[in-house]
Amino acid sequence: MSYQESKDVTVYIAQFDHPVRDRLTQLRHLIQSRFPHSIEDISYGMPCYRPATGKRGVVYFAAAKKHIGLYAVVDAEPNEPIHPVLQKYKTGRGTLQFKNTAPFPIDSINEILLYQATKLTV
């Protein structure tokens, strides 16, 4: 399938087949619950959540052929309890990937977003 760039998160998610669509929907709801006052937008071709008073997104997500990516994730010091969770999915600076062939780690993602919310003000 050729994916079209959208300006609406619902349209962005709807263009993907199941189970990716289901995972994106879960991720969207989880982000909205962790950052309830954020503005949902599309930036850089992917869903973005940013504070009402700012332009910089606090978290982004996108679907790729083999994974779902979570972007702009804050890093943790090695002594912080969240560090091993982040390291398990980290592929680059501020980038986490969840493989489509593996079970979707919703509990780990929730833990990551809770950590992100404590480090950022939205």
Q: Give me the domains of the chain, ranges plus CATH numbers.
A: 9-119 (3.90.1150.200)
Cβ atoms of 24 and 13 closer than 8 Å: yes
Is the pTM of the predicted complex or chain greater than 0.85?
A: yes
The pLDDT of residue 121 is: 57
Q: At what angle do helices 20-34 and 106-119 cross, to 10 degrees?
A: 30
Strands (E), 78-120: 90-92, 95-99
Strands 67-71 and 90-92: unpaired
Residue 121 in tokens: 């003000």
What is the C-alpha to C-alpha distance for residues 47 and 63, in angstroms, rounded to an integer? Answer: 10
pLDDT averaged per 10 residues, the chain (length 122): 70 95 98 93 94 85 96 90 92 93 96 88 52
